[in-house]
């Protein structure tokens, strides 16, 4: 009898939108119909290769099928699972060679990555705790609770060099230490899953595909800081993520990983879910806390920082989804292992949502310091249609645009800041030669202006003024002096705003002025959009969109 095989159908949000739910049910029915007792049909969360959905993988062979529809099910079951002949037409095809690649570990998109945060994504059923445990899940928590003191856990995280993956890059161990040292009768830890950037889907995908990794990291953070309660703040627009978090929390309680006297350690911890209404500003720590408390999500001045006075006025530690998912492997494999990945100042890996004018859009995890060119061309497959790379925007709507002339820019906190962008939470939008950089700045600023809470004048007024100038430029109604005004307002908003939204939202404007000023001048002086994209300045003979 053949060894047991498992057919994993991707059931992340992206693949579900292509009809993978129906594929999953059809595969189960077809396998049962043919009496294949050696085959089990199961599902996973997001694989990350969103461009190729719906995805079906057959293990342990590693056969990887792409763009699977319900019509392909009979052939997969009959030819492959019963007859032993994989369906080649459903294999991924290398865009450079046209060669069919049968196994995912042979595909450049996966082969060039190093998965730490995404280690289980696409490899386990997120609704079955036993599959997480079979991959080493909760071993780190057992080690932390039964073999280490809270101070030792903090020291291990500090030595690892882990920095906040939500964008700010503050050292995680130091944040935990501040909260640990704060004196209070109650403390909290919060998982910030309020992911609202256009084109960002990293946190959502991790929560959908590997919720236990985040929960394990959150419990460990609670133990280290002395907190007995944790919150997962996730936007209500992520219903599948919320569903799987709830299932994972229920299973964790049943197995004794949550509740009173966890694993006999004497440590009590409970986790609650707070669904946010979708305000982008609630990604900022103090606005998020206000939302949990039932108030309007608006930031407040700091200090005091949440580590001293946060939720309900108590010491509170807030970490991003990806930060918490990094904690279990650090505790299990050690700080020395983690610190060998990345750069001297930016340790570990980063998860990027690769989108825009790119062949292989999806989730990518690479060591910090990986050049943009490696991500775009080796992993991303390059620019479709034979077009040339023009720019890359990193860090979401508050990130800067990096020109193609510096393609080897390392992706790490320090370098991206130096070139006028930010790491952010991990959004990466690729732009080709047909992109108007003035319109890009206007588009992203329109998002952050609409999401401004309006509490401080620099952000409330400055974003609107910048947006008005950018609109005039794209309409051919601006003057040369508007560029100086635009630059001055952008610098003022950046330096004087209360929170991170206002402090970073001018980045698209400042970076495009820095690297693509000639495009602004063409719009103003020649009444022409070089990319031929702006509606009011489009040439009569040329490309139309």
Q: What is the pLDDT of residue 544?
A: 46
Q: What residues contact residue 441 under an 8 Å CB cut-off, 6+ apart? A: 401, 470, 508, 509, 512
pTM to 2 decimal places: 0.95
Which residues make up the CATH 1.20.1440.230 domain(s) of the chain?
445-537
> CA angle at residue 11 from 9 to 15, to 5 degrees?
95
Structural contact between residues 323 and 172, judged by C-beta atoms closer than 8 angstroms: yes
The CA distance from 427 to 200, in Å, is 5
Show the beta-strand stretches assigned E in 183-242: 188-193, 229-235
Q: Rounded to 5 degrees, what are φ and ψ at 444?
A: -70, -35
Whether domain 445-537 has CATH 3.40.50.300: the reply is: no
- CA nearest 288: which of 269, 311, 259, 308? 311
Structural contact between residues 320 and 288, judged by C-beta atoms closer than 8 angstroms: no
DSSP class of residue 347? B
The CA distance from 208 to 13, in Å, is 8
Which residues make up the CATH 3.10.20.600 domain(s) of the chain?
349-432
Q: What is the pLDDT of residue 456?
A: 94
The CA distance from 10 to 58, in Å, is 11
Whether domain 129-339 has CATH 3.40.50.11540: the reply is: yes
Which residues make up the CATH 3.40.30.10 domain(s) of the chain?
5-107
Q: What is the pLDDT of residue 48?
A: 95
Q: What is the pLDDT of residue 526?
A: 95
Structural contact between residues 109 and 189, judged by C-beta atoms closer than 8 angstroms: no
**Other C-beta atoms within 10 Å of 351: how many?**
26
Residues of the chain with pLDDT under 50: 1, 542-545
Q: What is the CATH number of domain 5-107?
A: 3.40.30.10
List the alpha helices (DSSP H) in 6-147: 13-16, 20-33, 73-75, 108-111, 129-134, 139-147
Structural contact between residues 284 and 504, judged by C-beta atoms closer than 8 angstroms: no
Q: What is the CATH number of domain 349-432?
A: 3.10.20.600
Q: What residues contact residue 490 under an 8 Å CB cut-off, 6+ apart? A: 462, 466, 506, 509, 510, 513
Structural contact between residues 412 and 342, judged by C-beta atoms closer than 8 angstroms: yes
3-state percent helix, strand, coil for the chain, nearest multiple of 5: 45, 15, 40
Angle, helix 150-160 to helix 211-225, in steps of 10 degrees: 120
Q: What is the pLDDT of residue 174?
A: 97
List the alpha helices (DSSP H) in 34-105: 73-75
The CA distance from 380 to 378, in Å, is 6
**Residue that is written with structure tokens 């990983």 in the block:** 257
Q: What residues contact residue 348 under an 8 Å CB cut-off, 6+ apart? A: 116, 160, 161, 162, 163, 326, 338, 341, 342, 367, 368
Give the N- to C-terminal CA distance of the chain in Å, as an integer.
58
Q: What is the pLDDT of residue 2?
A: 53
Burial degree of 472 (CB within 10 A; 0-12, 13-18, 19+): middle
Sign of the C-alpha dihedral computed for residues 240, 274, 429 and 441 taken in this order: positive
Helices (H) and strands (E) in the chain, counts: 22, 15
Query: Length of the chain, please?
Result: 545
Tokens encoding 286: 């103090």
Burial degree of 41 (CB within 10 A; 0-12, 13-18, 19+): buried
User: Quick check: helix, strand or coil at residue 457?
Assistant: helix
Q: Rounded to 5 degrees, what are φ and ψ at 427?
A: -70, 140
Q: What is the pLDDT of residue 542?
A: 47
Tokens encoding 359: 């062949």
Cis peptide bond N-terminal to 126, omega within 30: no
């Amino acid at each position: 009898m053949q060894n047991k095989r498992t057919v994993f159908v991707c059931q992340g949000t992206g693949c579900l939108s292509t009809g993978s739910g129906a594929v999953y049910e059809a595969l189960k029915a077809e396998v049962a119909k043919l009496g294949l007792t050696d085959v089990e049909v199961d599902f996973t969360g997001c694989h990350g290769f969103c461009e190729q959905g719906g995805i079906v993988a057959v293990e342990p062979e590693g056969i990887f099928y792409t763009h699977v529809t319900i019509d392909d099910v009979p052939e997969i079951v009959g030819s492959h699972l019963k007859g032993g002949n994989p369906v080649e037409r459903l294999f991924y095809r290398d865009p450079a060679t046209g060669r069919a690649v049968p196994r995912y570990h042979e595909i450049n998109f996966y082969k060039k990555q190093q998965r730490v945060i995404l280690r289980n994504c696409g490899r386990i059923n997120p609704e079955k705790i036993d599959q997480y445990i079979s991959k080493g899940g909760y071993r780190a928590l057992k080690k932390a609770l039964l073999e280490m003191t809270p101070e030792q856990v903090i020291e291990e995280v500090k030595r690892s060099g882990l920095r906040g993956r939500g964008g700010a890059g503050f050292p995680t161990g130091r944040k935990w230490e501040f909260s640990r040292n704060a004196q209070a009768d109650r403390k909290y830890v919060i998982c910030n899953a309020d992911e609202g950037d256009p084109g960002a889907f990293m946190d959502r995908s991790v929560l959908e595909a590997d919720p236990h990794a985040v929960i394990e990291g959150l419990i460990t953070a609670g133990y280290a800081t002395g907190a007995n309660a944790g919150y997962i703040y996730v936007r209500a627009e992520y219903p599948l993520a919320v569903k799987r978090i709830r299932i994972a929390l229920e299973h964790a309680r049943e197995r004794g990983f949550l509740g009173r006297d966890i694993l006999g350690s004497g440590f009590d911890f409970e986790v609650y879910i707070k669904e946010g209404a979708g305000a982008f500003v609630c990604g900022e720590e103090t606005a998020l806390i206000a939302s949990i408390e039932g108030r309007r999500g608006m930031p407040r001045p700091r200090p005091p920082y949440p580590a001293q006075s946060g939720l309900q006025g108590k010491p509170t530690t807030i970490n991003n989804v990806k930060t918490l998912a990094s904690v279990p492997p650090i505790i299990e494999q050690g700080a020395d292992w983690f610190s060998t990945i990345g750069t001297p100042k930016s340790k570990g890996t980063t998860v990027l949502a690769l989108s825009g004018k790119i062949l292989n859009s999806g989730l990518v995890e690479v060591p910090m310091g990986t050049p943009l060119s490696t991500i775009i061309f080796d992993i991303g497959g390059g620019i479709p249609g034979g077009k040339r790379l023009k720019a890359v925007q990193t860090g979401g709507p508050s990130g800067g645009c990096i020109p193609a002339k510096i393609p080897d820019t390392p992706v790490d906190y320090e370098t991206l800041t130096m070139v006028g962008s930010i790491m952010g939470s991990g959004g990466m939008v690729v732009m080709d030669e047909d992109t108007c950089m003035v319109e890009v700045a206007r588009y992203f600023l329109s998002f952050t202006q609409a999401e401004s809470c309006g509490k401080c004048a620099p952000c409330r007024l400055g974003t609107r003024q910048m947006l008005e100038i950018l609109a005039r430029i794209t309409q051919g109604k601006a003057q040369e002096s508007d560029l100086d005004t635009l630059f001055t307002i952008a610098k003022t908003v950046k330096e004087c705003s209360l929170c991170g939204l206002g402090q970073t939202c001018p980045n698209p404007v400042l970076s495009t002025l820095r690297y693509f000023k000639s495009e602004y001048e063409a719009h103003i002086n020649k009444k022409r959009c070089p990319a031929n994209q702006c509606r009011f300045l489009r040439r009569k003979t040329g490309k139309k969109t």
